[in-house]
Amino acid sequence: MLAIISENNLEYVSPVFAIRQAGWQSEVLAFNKEHSHLRRIKIWHPRRQVFIVDWEKFDCKKSVWEGYDWVLKDRKLWKAVRFGKKASTDDFPQFKQYTQKMVLPEWFEVKGERDIQSLMNVSMFFHDSIPIRIETEERDTEIEFDTTWGCIITVKFKGVRASELIDRIGIIYDSVLEKTDGGYVWKVTCFDPGEVGGIVGFLPVSGEPYIYCDKIEWSIKTGKSAYCARTKEYDSLYDFYLDLKAVSENVFLKEDKLILHHKNDTLTIEEGNKGYITYRNGKREKGQWEGQDIFEYAIEFLTQVNPEDIKEEVLLDVSSAKPLYFWHYMKYAFLFAVAWAFVGVLILFLTNFQKGGVLVAVLFFALCLVTIIFPLCSLVNGKEIRYIITPTTIYYFNGNVSNLSLNILQIKDIKLYRSLIKRGIGTIKIKQKGGITFGYGLIAVNDAEKVYNLIKQNCVF
């Protein structure tokens, strides 16, 4: 089994030695980019980052994992990666023969059932795909699909014997690929009629689009095109419900409302005039959601982490320091307020305290107060932030639920800034690969240096 693994806009090819199929929590056992370590890699994080291009049905199964017999039965290896830690290939020489650099062909040829399974699995059976380009030349047809699952797949149907309704597809919801006597047939079994580019609007068509051909080749490019977002703009809550139901059984459609349950929390989603309206535990949330945003938000809710969900060894459990928050967020507000106040005083003197000048100065002083009051109220009323650090992950809890976590392997650089307010308090700025900063920095009480050293020793720069 081979996979393309995409991390921080970079990709590499690795053998897959085992797989745990668990929906959005699925993961594989594969190499890191340098092929120097084995590690457990989530297929979705939160978007898709593992694309298995050569599928293999493993014969050995152990608990929730499927893989090679010699891999699953190696207790030392699984002890090393039990909590997601990496295992060096120097300690497991049996993997050395697989560490050579692999170059995938530009085009994969479908030759049998295994190849059929590879194409249909990596494309998710073309569910939620849209044809963005169709070209026909003599007896060959080439279709480029935006799969909306993090990759674009181009399929060459060679030696086309018969085809129908291919140009009448707007969005595909399901398809099948079968080997026939002397060739292959690809049929679209569920779709919305339309035209190339994901445009839906044609009247219903009778029959199923299909292509019957002699040979099939395909290629894959990770990433998205500009078309993919359209498919997440659901025409109805029922379509949205079907996608969420594939993620969790705790999703229900009742009286034109989507109801999602996660432990003691309930998220209700309904359609409004300008987008989707959400209620968390009966309380309406602020903000309007676009179609493609609400799906990711709902997934985050269904996969959120509570402290008791963490099964790994907890290395540290620390809370934020409000004095440090005050210093970081209020210093700019104070500087801005002082500048506004200075301008107000300057106006008073320049206008010799005339009525117009006094009014303008009062306005400046009012803005000065607003600049301080709003962030101050936000800090006072804000919940304490809690950080739980495990050997593989930093969990960010606002209240008692986390929708944000960071894989330690994704850290590119960390810096410690000690506070002048109180000994031991500090801010750890975390920069991810790709230039993203985690949260607003990791803030700890009295343990900043300890947290910094702990994270740093688990990082691989």
| CATH number assigned to the domain comprising residue 397 | 2.30.29.30
Q: For residues 36 and 45, is the Cβ–Cβ distance under 8 A?
A: no
Q: For residues 407 and 434, is the Cβ–Cβ distance under 8 A?
A: no
Tokens of 145: 């699909």
Could you say which of 98, 126, 143 is where a domain stops? 98
Q: For residues 184 and 216, is the Cβ–Cβ distance under 8 A?
A: yes
Mean pLDDT of 86-111: 88
More confident: 178 or 276? 178
Same domain, 207 and 115: yes
Is the pLDDT confidence value at 29 over 80? Answer: yes
Is the pLDDT confidence value at 227 over 60? Answer: no
Same domain, 115 and 214: yes
Same domain, 121 and 213: yes
Is the pLDDT confidence value at 305 over 90? Answer: no
Could you say which of 173, 204, 229 is where a domain stops? 229
Specify if 335 maps to a domain.
yes
Using alpha carbons, select from 425, 385, 432, 426 the residue that is nearest to residue 409. Answer: 432
Beta strands in 159-222 (DSSP E): 162-164, 169-180, 183-195, 199-200, 210-213, 215-222
Which pLDDT band, with edges at 50, 70 and 90, does 30 fall under?
very high
Same domain, 243 and 260: yes
User: Counting every residue, how long is the chain?
Assistant: 461
Specify if 313 maps to a domain.
no
Q: Which residues pair with 282 in a beta bridge?
A: none
More confident: 299 or 15? 15
The H-assigned helical ranges of 24-158 are: 69-72, 75-80, 113-122
| 141-150, 222-231, 285-294, 402-411, range with greatest mean pLDDT | 141-150
* Mean pLDDT, all residues of the chain: 80
CA distance 15 to 94: 13
CA distance 94 to 74: 11
Same domain, 144 and 221: yes
Specify if 277 maps to a domain.
yes
Could you say which of 304, 336, 353 is where a domain stops? 304
Using alpha carbons, select from 255, 335, 257 the residue that is nearest to residue 298. Answer: 257
Q: What is the pTM of this model?
A: 0.54
Please report the pLDDT score of residue 229 as a whole number. 36
Same domain, 143 and 247: no
Same domain, 218 and 296: no
Is the pLDDT confidence value at 212 over 90? Answer: yes
CA distance 392 to 85: 6
Is the pLDDT confidence value at 231 over 50? Answer: no
Residue owning tokens 């599928």:
55
The DSSP code sequence of 413-449 is: EEEEEE-SSSTT-EEEEEEETTSPBPBTBEEESS-HH
Specify if 215 maps to a domain.
yes
Please list, in sequence order, all residues whose beta carbon lies within 8 angstroms of the beta carbon of residue 164, skipping any fewer than 6 positions away. 207, 209, 210
Please report the pLDDT score of residue 306 as a whole number. 81
Specify if 309 maps to a domain.
no
Q: For residues 141 and 133, is the Cβ–Cβ distance under 8 A?
A: no
Domain range for 365 is: 321-381
pLDDT more than 90, % of the chain? 22
Is the pLDDT confidence value at 291 over 70? Answer: no
Residue owning tokens 């967020």:
329
Specify if 136 maps to a domain.
yes
Residue owning tokens 């690929």:
177
Same domain, 250 and 344: no
The DSSP code sequence of 6-28 is: EETTEEEEEEEEEEE--GGG-EE
DSSP H or E run through 339: helix 322-350
Mean pLDDT of 184-191: 92
Helices (H) and strands (E) in the chain, counts: 8, 30
Tokens of 63: 């608990």
Which pLDDT band, with edges at 50, 70 and 90, does 257 fall under?
very high
The DSSP code sequence of 245-271 is: HTT-S-EEEETTEEEEEETTEEEEEEE
Specify if 38 maps to a domain.
yes
Using alpha carbons, select from 385, 387, 270, 233 the residue that is nearest to residue 324. Answer: 385
| 76-80, 208-212, 423-427, 447-451, range with greatest mean pLDDT | 208-212
Mean pLDDT of 322-331: 59
Please report the pLDDT score of residue 26 as a whole number. 84
Same domain, 366 and 428: no
Give residue-wise pLDDT tens across range 347-386. 777 777 776 667 766 776 676 666 666 656 655 555 567 8
Same domain, 326 and 260: no
Please list, in sequence order, all residues whose beta carbon lies within 8 angstroms of the beta carbon of residue 115, skipping any fewer than 6 positions away. 108, 109
Give residue-wise pLDDT tens across range 115-148. 999 999 999 889 888 898 999 998 999 999 988 7
Task: Give the count of domains, the chain.
Answer: 5
Specify if 312 maps to a domain.
no
Same domain, 293 and 326: no
How many other C-beta atoms are found inside a 10 Å radius of the C-beta of residue 386? 17
Same domain, 129 and 201: yes
DSSP H or E run through 333: helix 322-350
